[in-house]
Structure 1
């Protein structure tokens, strides 16, 4: 686990974090792949108890976007139970890739 990885909280994201993990998507209003990514992440989160999917409007959270160096939308982060960023990917993920990234975080860290 990367102890230096940024930690995000519900206050920064504007939504509750999952008990076990959180899938965070940075999106923008006119991003067509963002809508598909939102559906994929919601489906993946619904498959695993204790996992939440959070959509963050990049334009409304410019300070956070800059701090995390989000360069494009969609960008997906996988947070562990403590809100620590454990995985990151830009672009629309395949559902299988989102499941694999989530599984790796859950198996590696689990709740602390």
Structure 2
């Protein structure tokens, strides 16, 4: 392969990787629909869900952004009546990642009182989007 062709291929791969990274970064933390999923509180060793809604955070031990999300969701739940925060560690329960279709951590669900997943966030949730999702419950 000629040096010019190799340089062209490397530049094209770099451009493609940059575009993919920008797209993934822009999608991070945005509100998404919950689909037809139902969350079972026994999966998190929780006795019950919040009376209004529950913020279910899926994390792992090696997740760098999970402590930040944990602190944010704890503070958010304590500021809103009827709201509860539950954390599920997928390191010890990898079967739940397939059941709830969790592909990255942190992932946060907004679950209503009946267990229906009303919204989901991949990455660190944007505060305004979290407000919107909780208000819709």
- Which TM-score applies when normalising by structure 1? 0.83
Shift of 1:94: 2.6
Once the two structures are superposed, the pairs formed by residues 18-33 of structure 1 within 5 Å of their partners are: 18-33=50-65
Shift of 1:10: 1.9
- Between the two proteins, the alignment pairs up a number of residues equal to 103
Q: C-alpha root-mean-square deviation of aligned residues, in Å?
A: 1.7
Which residue of the partner structure matches residue 87 of structure 2?
Answer: 55
Name the larger-Rg structure: 2
Once the two structures are superposed, the pairs formed by residues 34-45 of structure 1 within 5 Å of their partners are: 34-45=66-77
Task: Confirm whether residue 97 of structure 1 aligns to residue 133 of structure 2.
Answer: no
Shift of 1:79: 0.2
Shift of 1:100: 2.2
Which residue among 62, 66, 73 is the counterpart of 2:98? 66
Which residue among 9, 14, 28 is the counterpart of 2:45? 14
CA distance in 1, matches of 2:36, 2:79: 26
CA distance in 1, matches of 2:40, 2:101: 17
In structure 1, list runs of 5 or more residues that go unmatched. 106-112
Per-residue deviation, residues 4-26 of structure 1 (Å, max 9, x unmatched): 72222221121231111100000
In structure 2, list runs of 5 or more residues that go unmatched. 1-32
